[in-house]
């Protein structure tokens, strides 16, 4: 906290902030998939302008306050140094700014008709949760595993303790204020090359952890992967597993637009976003987090964020209209509930972890020690790192080596080969290549989706229609 | 201390605030293919841990990679500290990645070089080729 800025004598009246979980479900029911940016600026005035622009966008939106990396690792001194030197941060330093300042940012923004979530990425989120509650916010995201393993070197057991305390703090706030909401980040992990079943399992396990510590309004995440088929299986599995393991929780699904190496061209970026939007609409996904044309190179501007939100909403809107024109029942394209490979693997992983201890935190810590959970390519000291994955010719992510994962009998491990730098970069850039348009013929991944022909016109930006630097600069 | 002191060892790290890891895995494979053993310290390495590792391993080169947009600020703080450490004043140190939050920025590169980096590789199509050339030139130089 700066402590130096005086509190306004008369704090501006804040409208009653909405309950994030109910807000999203209600919006989804009446309008369709809610779209949300990953937006964060260090300057409070810019942050406020970004939230207002999100609210005013021609789309059903939710607002985001993304926290900067220094705050994520608890280095508030570096935040102060950057702000003094006028260096822009990659997010909003919520624990640095006085709560009064954040409340001003939110005045007239958060209202019955607009909910805001804080997105961070911290294995020690107590101060962030304290700050967001003090500012009148009640929704955030993360998890003891997903905000530890991919986010640095905090020991897993320590992250679990930190998240237990933070969950309790958040849950407690609901006794006097708005019902708090927490989203798992487990459906993303390192963003790429993680088999979808492991993403689904971690997402559900984190939701169980949240519930154990008193939260009853939860969203479960899944990040779009290269294969449409795997994506549809994963979202269906997530719904089925939540239905089974979280009967007393109000939950919804949130899809993240592709979290790996992003296309560099505007066309490629929008096609990939459209793919995510169609996936969301066709799987009844309640909320979609978008990516912008600047994703591959730098922090996006407010205008680029708004363009992405409006485009994604146009795609989901078009999809819904096309469906009613085709006179299809609402759930016609919704994935079925069969025992897909993704579902079977995720179920086995969840059950194996739950058997380790009644306490989810202890179970998760032991699961990583035993290698029952093991994230491919993750360098964290508490990750065994014995599993390997690869992209097959259709863009599906497969296991090359299951290490000690309890998947014997359901997964055939192929021979794990040593991968070189060029091959790794090739796999990481597969989606970029496909969507930037120079993919090897026949390897179109999910880009070959027939719906692509019916997409609304893309925002004008390659031709300089949007401010900001040239894409991929 | 049991650190293997191979005179060709290259140390790789992500600075304190940066959690990105794929860049580090990629650079490790690349440097190994160029014939150097590596020690990958991983992401989010605090300044003092990087300095300690340099003193322990006495690497041929320290490679820093940052893509979260704070690389400029983190890099200057870190190199100032490294250069102020008597035994590390002449250690070859390079940094690369997405070093600011607003896209390719040559100002950042100049500041970083002035602060003591031997080479700076902002994101560009030539960055990796230039870096490979730098590594090759290392083996030509006399090992100190
Ligand atoms: C995957 C990813 C993540 C994953 C990372 C998982 C992990 N632990 O590794 C997750 C989801 C966790 C994540 C988190 C965040 N991310 Co991120 N992420 C990406 C993404 C999509 C891909 C990065 C990647 O894996 N690339 C593959 C590797 C192999 O390549 P590379 O990193 O691009 O590096 C290449 C070159 O830069 C070069 N290079 C890099 N370093 C060096 C060093 C030397 C010496 C040399 C020669 C070359 C070199 O070589 C590589 C190969 O060409 C990029 C956007 C993109 N590129 O599409 C954003 C991106 C890097 N992330 C970004 C940000 C800001 C964040 C967050 C702060 C969240 C936020 N505010 O949005 C947090 C980080 C928290 C923290 N403490 O740092 C920004 C950075 C913005 C900027 N610099 O202006 C990007 C560009 C997205 C964006 N446009 O906003 N991220």
Are residues B120 and B78 in contact, defined by beta-carbon separation less than 8 angstroms? no
Pick the atom of ligand 1 nearest to A378's CA. 8
pLDDT (mean) for A131-149: 97
Which of B68, B95, B129, B136 is the best mutation target for the ligand 1 pocket, counting ligand atoms within 8 Å of the beta carbon and taking the most?
B68
Query: What phi, psi does A222 have (nearest 5°)?
Result: -150, 135
pLDDT tops 70 at residue A7: no
Q: How far is CA B77 from the centre of its chain?
A: 13
How do beta strands A34-36 and B119-122 pair? unpaired
In angstroms, what separates the C-alpha of A298 from chain B's closest C-alpha? 5
Q: Which residue has the higher pLDDT, A467 or A44?
A: A44
- A431 vs B: CB within 8 A: no
pLDDT of residue B4: 58
**Cβ-defined contact of A89 to B101 (cutoff 8 Å):** yes
- The rounded distance, in Å, linking the Cα atoms of A455 and A452 is 5
**Cβ-defined contact of B25 to A192 (cutoff 8 Å):** no
pLDDT of residue A472: 36
Are residues B34 and B62 in contact, defined by beta-carbon separation less than 8 angstroms? no
Domain ranges of chain A: 12-446+454-473
SS3 A40: coil
pLDDT tops 50 at residue A448: no
ipTM for the assembly: 0.94
Local confidence band at A177 (pLDDT 50, 70, 90 cut-offs): confident
- Does ligand 1 lie within 6 Å of residue B123's CB atom? yes
Per-residue pLDDT tens over the stretch B58-79: 999 999 999 999 999 999 999 9
pLDDT of residue B66: 98
Percentage of the residues of chain A whose pLDDT score is greater than 90: 82
- The rounded distance, in Å, linking the Cα atoms of A352 and A408 is 12
- B69 vs A: CB within 8 A: yes
pLDDT of residue A338: 78
- B104 vs A: CB within 8 A: yes
pLDDT of residue A14: 52
Percentage of the residues of chain A whose pLDDT score is greater than 70: 88
Which numeric CATH code is attached to A12-446+454-473? 3.20.20.240
What is the average pLDDT score of chain B?
93
Residue in A closest to B44 by C-alpha: A152
Per-residue pLDDT tens over the stretch A58-115: 999 999 999 999 999 999 999 999 999 999 999 999 999 999 999 999 999 999 899 9
Per-residue pLDDT tens over the stretch A215-234: 999 999 999 999 999 999 99
The secondary structure of B34-91, three-state, reads CCCCEEECCCCECHHHHHHHHHHHCCCEEEEEECCCCHHHHHHHHHHHHHHCHHHCCC
- A151 vs B: CB within 8 A: yes
Are residues A169 and A130 in contact, defined by beta-carbon separation less than 8 angstroms? yes
Per-residue pLDDT tens over the stretch A275-309: 999 999 999 999 999 999 999 999 999 999 999 99
Local confidence band at B142 (pLDDT 50, 70, 90 cut-offs): low
Local confidence band at B127 (pLDDT 50, 70, 90 cut-offs): very high
Q: How far is CA B132 from the centre of its chain?
A: 13
| Ligand 1 atom 32: residue of nearest CA | B23
**Cβ-defined contact of A192 to B22 (cutoff 8 Å):** yes
pLDDT tops 70 at residue B40: yes
Distant-in-sequence, close-in-space partners of A98: CB < 8 Å, separation ≥ 6: A1, A2, A3, A5, A7
């Amino acid at each position: 906290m700066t402590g130096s800025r005086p509190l306004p004598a008369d704090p501006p009246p804040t409208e009653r902030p909405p309950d994030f979980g109910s807000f999203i479900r209600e919006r989804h029911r009446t309008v369709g998939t809610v779209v949300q940016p990953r937006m964060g600026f260090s300057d409070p005035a810019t942050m406020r302008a970004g939230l207002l622009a999100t609210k005013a966008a021609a789309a059903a939106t939710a607002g985001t306050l993304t926290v900067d990396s220094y705050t994520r690792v608890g280095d508030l001194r570096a935040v102060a140094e950057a702000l003094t030197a006028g260096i822009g941060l990659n997010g909003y330093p919520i624990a640095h700014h006085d709560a009064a300042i954040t409340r001003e940012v939110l005045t007239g923004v958060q209202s019955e008709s607009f909910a805001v979530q804080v997105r961070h990425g911290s294995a020690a989120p107590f101060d962030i949760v304290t700050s967001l509650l003090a500012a009148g916010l009640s929704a955030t995201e993360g998890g003891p595993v997903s905000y530890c393993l991919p986010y640095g070197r905090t020991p897993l057991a320590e992250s679990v303790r930190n998240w237990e305390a933070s969950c309790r703090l958040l849950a407690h706030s609901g006794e006097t204020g708005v019902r708090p909401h927490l989203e798992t980040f487990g459906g993303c992990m390192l963003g790429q090359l993680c088999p979808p079943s492991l993403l689904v399992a971690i997402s559900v396990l984190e939701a169980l952890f949240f519930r154990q510590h008193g939260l009853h309004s939860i969203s479960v995440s899944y990040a779009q992967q290269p294969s449409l088929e795997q994506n549809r299986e994963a979202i269906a599995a997530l719904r089925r597993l939540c239905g089974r393991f979280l009967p007393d929780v109000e939950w919804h699904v949130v899809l993240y637009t592709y979290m790996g190496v992003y296309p560099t061209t505007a066309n490629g970026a929008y096609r990939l976003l459209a793919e995510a939007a169609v996936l969301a609409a066709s799987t009844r996904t309640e909320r979609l987090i978008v990516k912008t044309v600047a994703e591959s190179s730098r922090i996006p501007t407010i205008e680029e964020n708004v363009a992405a939100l409006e485009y994604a909403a146009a795609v989901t809107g078009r999809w819904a209209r096309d469906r009613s024109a085709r006179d299809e029942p609402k759930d016609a394209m919704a994935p079925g509930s069969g025992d897909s490979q993704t579902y079977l693997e995720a179920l086995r992983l969840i059950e194996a972890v739950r058997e380790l201890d009644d306490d989810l935190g202890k179970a998760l810590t032991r699961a990583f020690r035993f290698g029952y959970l093991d994230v491919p390519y993750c360098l964290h000291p508490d990750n065994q790192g014995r599993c390997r994955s690869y992209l097959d010719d259709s863009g599906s992510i497969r296991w090359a080596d299951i290490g000690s994962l309890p998947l014997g009998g359901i997964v055939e491990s192929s021979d794990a080969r040593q991968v070189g730098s060029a091959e790794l970069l090739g796999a990481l850039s597969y989606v970029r290549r496909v969507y930037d348009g120079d993919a090897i013929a026949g390897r179109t991944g999910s880009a070959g989706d027939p719906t692509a022909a019916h997409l609304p016109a893309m925002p004008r930006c390659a031709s300089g229609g949007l401010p900001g630097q040239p894409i991929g600069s | 201390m049991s650190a293997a002191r191979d005179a060709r060892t290259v140390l790789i790290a992500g600075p304190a605030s940066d959690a990105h890891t794929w860049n580090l895995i990629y650079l490790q494979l690349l440097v190994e293919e160029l014939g150097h053993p590596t020690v990958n310290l991983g992401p989010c390495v605090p300044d003092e841990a990087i300095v300690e590792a340099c003193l322990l391993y006495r690497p041929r080169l320290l490679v820093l990679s940052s893509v979260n947009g704070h690389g400029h600020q983190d890099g200057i703080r870190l190199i100032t500290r490294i250069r102020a450490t008597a035994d590390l004043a002449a250690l070859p140190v390079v940094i690369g990645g997405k070093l600011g939050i607003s896209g390719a920025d040559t100002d950042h590169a100049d500041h970083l070089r002035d602060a003591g980096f031997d080479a700076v590789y902002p994101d560009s199509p030539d960055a990796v080729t230039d870096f490979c050339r730098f590594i090759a030139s290392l083996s030509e130089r006399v090992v100190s």
